[in-house]
Structures are given as structure tokens and as C-alpha cells.
Amino acid sequence: MKGMNISDQSLLRLERAADELRRGQPVVVTAGDRALFVMPLELATTPALERFDTMVTDSFVMLTNNRALSLKVAGEDWAAVRLERPSWMTAEDMVALADPTLDLASPLKGPYSRINHPSTALDEAAIKMVKWARLLPAVLAAEVEAAKAFPDQMAVDADAVLNADFAQALALRQVASARVPLAGAENTRLVSFRPTAGGIEHIAIVIGEPNRHDPVLMRIHSECFTGDLLGSLKCDCGEQLRGAIKAIEEAGGGVLLYLAQEGRGIGLISKLKAYALQDQGYDTVDANTRLGFDVDERVFAPAAEMLKQLGFGAVRLMTNNPDKVAGLERFGVTVAERVAHKFPTNPHNEQYLATKKAKTGHIL
Ligand SMILES: Nc1nc2c(ncn2[C@@H]2O[C@H](COP(=O)(O)OP(=O)(O)OP(=O)(O)O)[C@@H](O)[C@H]2O)c(=O)[nH]1
Ligand SMILES: [Zn+2]
């Protein structure tokens, strides 16, 4: 598996860099003797820009191809697109460039000129770093020499960033396990997993006493604060969560992995931005891409690793999403069967589910 020998030290630096980015502070991403000095556009402020400009020169803006497409500045199919930073561009303009939910309030300025620069691993790592920090994938950046000292800035290695999902999955360890009787599934145990270097935690919900010989009935459920906790009618998550617990209990046992991958991996705040775009008429897929994200930012390496550590090699996976089957198999889990996991629609989620069927290959 890629990233297997990335050390805890690299992951620790990544988590620290993500913390800096979440505070709007710049970090340095390095690849050999080259480096990028980057800060998240979403958090640009006038004082932050002033400070940025005292530290580096010749800065530019970098977006994902998806965001560039929606701004009509994409050219070739480059993963990251660099734009010139015009002299009139304020911090507010930068935030608006990153965040399409502001389009109506502050119509975009322009024109923007694309820099002729096919994206490199360094560019992709810089974008990945802000995604890792659960921010919109757009940065202000400047090329610097890797040897240049920025004593206050966290530096991370591009390869470590690009392999971080896998490395962090492999670093997951069980840290607590306790009996938590659930309504309708009283013989239930919650097992928590945390990466050794810190970072996002996931929970396995083990119901009954599943045997390790036959494929285990299981569900991978990605966190949905709105659906799971608040009972939002915009999606089917709450019903799928409770439905899975019920089905596993009725089958005599199994596992539900509750993964901290809110909003298909974009985070709660960005998901709410996606919802704001949906209020303007965009569907769940277009909302994600207008924000600059991929349609689905999840990887299922953590799920595969948790199953392995729990002693399950083969599963009967409750899902309507063929990507989840492929995502698990990619990491060595045998999916013996896909078990459909459908629930009746309501007027608020009908369109959401229709889009899943039409655009993301869900079998509904
Ligand atoms: N970005 C984004 N995420 C959403 C939206 N609606 C729901 N989600 C998230 O999508 C995830 C739901 O995924 P799952 O329940 O695993 O569903 P799935 O991948 O569609 O596949 P199934 O296994 O068939 O349910 C949760 O993390 C939700 O927060 C949306 O409109 N935009
Ligand atoms: Zn949901």
C-alpha cells in the first residue's frame, strides 16, 4: 500500500500544519529543493495578506480544476490551476473567489488570467493540505526555495501529504472499547480508533457476537451531523443509520463503521455551503464541484484497516453505492455480497436520491 512507510512524524507535522491553516496561517509544502508557501483563500483577511506579502513575493492564486471550470478560467485538464493575483484583489475578493456561496452577495470581479503551468505534485499537495484542514480547496501561494527559512511556519513534505489518507489509516489503533446498549440492539459494543499521531477518529459499532468465519453483515456509514443527529429530511442518512443497526441486530450480529467523513469528506461547514448552493438550485454533485471539491472526497482505507484490526476479512456490505464496494476491495477486503440499503423517499430528499441514481451510479 502506498504511504506505508510514512512515519508518525510526518503525520504529526501534517496535523500541525492543518491546525495552522484552520487559523488562516500560512504553511510551507516542500518537494525536493522546491517549495510553496501557502495560505487558505477562504480565510484571507487584510492583516493576514499584509503579513504574507512581507514574507514572500510573486504570489498567485491556485484553485482546483473544478472551481476553475465553474469560473470559466480552466484550460487544460490540470488538477490545480494557477491564476495571476491582480493588484486590485482584496482579501474579500479572495474569499469570494474561493467561496461560490458568496456569488449572489458579491458578484465576482475579473477578468482572471490563468498562468500557463501544468500542475505538479507540489501544487496538488498544497490543495490537498487545505482539504485536509477541511477548508475550501483554494490557496494563495508563492514559490520559494525549500532551503529558505520560515521559522514560524510549519513545513510538510508533498509526498507525505499526498499519501496521508493511507498513512493515517494504517496508523489507526483501538483506544477504547465499551458496551453501549442501543435501543433495539442492546448487545452492542463501541470500539474507537485513533491514529497514533493524532487526527480524526472513527468508531466501530459491533452488534451482537458476529463470527469471524463467514462474511460479516456490515455497513460503512459516513458521518452526517444533519441527518444522523438532527433528523434532517434532505438526505437519507438518519434512516440508513438506524435501519442498518436494526438489520444487523435482526441478522444476529454484524458491524457498522461510523466514519468521520462528514459531507462525503468535505467537512460540515463546506457541506452547509453545498446546501446553500442547493438552495440556489444546484444538485448535490454540482454543488460539490462548484465549491472546487470532487463529487466524493472519501477514501475507504480507514474502513478496511478497522475491519482488519477487528478480525473481519470478508463482508456483506449494506450499500447502494458501488464505489464503496470498490473502495473497500481496493484495500484488500473481500465484499462477498452487496446488500441493498434503501428507504422510502420524502419530498425533501427525492431530488437528492434521484441525483445519486442519475449521476453517481447508486443502485436505487
Ligand atoms: N457534500 C455533500 N455531502 C452530503 C450531502 N448530502 C449528504 N452528504 C453526506 O454524504 C454522506 C452520506 O454517505 P453515505 O450514507 O455513506 O451514502 P452513500 O455514499 O451515498 O452510499 P450508501 O451506502 O448507498 O448510503 C454523509 O457524509 C453525508 O454528510 C450533500 O448534499 N453534499
Ligand atoms: Zn445525510
Over the stretch 31-63, which tens digit does the pLDDT of each residue have?
A: 999 999 999 999 999 999 999 999 999 999 999
Which residues make up each annotated binding site for Zn(2+)?
A: 224, 235, 237
- Are the C-beta atoms of residues 211 and 309 closer than 8 Å to each other? no
* Measured distance CA(234)–CA(353) in Å, rounded: 10
- Are the C-beta atoms of residues 172 and 308 closer than 8 Å to each other? no
pLDDT > 60? residue 4 = no
* Measured distance CA(126)–CA(236) in Å, rounded: 34
pTM of the model: 0.95
Beta bridge partners, 334, equal 314
State phi, psi for 108 to the nearest 5 degrees: -60, 140
Kindly list the structural domains of the chain, giving each domain's residue range(s) and its CATH number in brackets, ordered by start: 8-165 (3.90.870.10), 172-261+298-359 (3.40.50.10990)
ipTM: 0.97
Residue 235 alpha carbon to ligand 2 centre in Å: 5
pLDDT tens per residue across span 255-280: 999 999 999 999 999 999 999 999 99
| Nearest residue to 274 via CA among 121, 167, 265 | 265
| Nearest residue to 282 via CA among 362, 359, 222 | 359
Is residue 364 very low, low, confident or very high in pLDDT (cuts 50, 70, 90)? confident
Q: In what order do the strands lie in the sheet with 202-208?
A: 172-179, 188-195, 202-208, 253-259, 216-222, 314-318, 334-339
Q: Which of 9-13, 35-39, 129-133, 256-260 has the lowest mean pLDDT?
A: 9-13
The alpha carbon of 47 is separated from its chain's Cα centroid by a whole number of angstroms, namely: 29
Which residues make up each annotated binding site?
A: 219-224, 235, 237, 240, 262-264, 284, 319, 324
- Are the C-beta atoms of residues 144 and 27 closer than 8 Å to each other? no
* Measured distance CA(156)–CA(9) in Å, rounded: 10
Query: Strands (DSSP E) along 180-286, which ranges?
Result: 188-195, 202-208, 216-222, 253-259
The type of residue at 138 is A
Beta bridge partners, 61, equal 83, 140
Residues in the chain: 364
Residue 364 alpha carbon to ligand 1 centre in Å: 14
pLDDT > 90? residue 127 = yes
- For residue 235 and ligand 1, the question of a CB distance below 6 A is answered with yes
* Measured distance CA(110)–CA(73) in Å, rounded: 10
Is residue 335 very low, low, confident or very high in pLDDT (cuts 50, 70, 90)? very high
Q: In what order do the strands lie in the sheet with 80-84?
A: 80-84, 60-64, 138-145, 34-40, 27-31, 155-157
Predicted local confidence at residue 183, as pLDDT:
94
* Measured distance CA(44)–CA(85) in Å, rounded: 13
Atom of ligand 1 at shortest range from CA of 320? 24
Q: Which three cell numbers stand for residue 272?
A: 452547509
Atom of ligand 1 at shortest range from CA of 236? 15
Is residue 202 very low, low, confident or very high in pLDDT (cuts 50, 70, 90)? very high
Atom of ligand 1 at shortest range from CA of 323? 19
What's the sign of the alpha-carbon dihedral 110, 276, 138, 81? Answer: negative
* Higher pLDDT, residue 316 or 358: 316
- Are the C-beta atoms of residues 158 and 10 closer than 8 Å to each other? no
Q: What is the rounded average pLDDT for all residues in the chain? A: 94
- Are the C-beta atoms of residues 8 and 194 closer than 8 Å to each other? no
Q: Which three cell numbers stand for residue 106?
A: 458579491
pLDDT > 70? residue 25 = yes
- Are the C-beta atoms of residues 335 and 315 closer than 8 Å to each other? yes
Is residue 7 very low, low, confident or very high in pLDDT (cuts 50, 70, 90)? confident
* Measured distance CA(292)–CA(205) in Å, rounded: 33
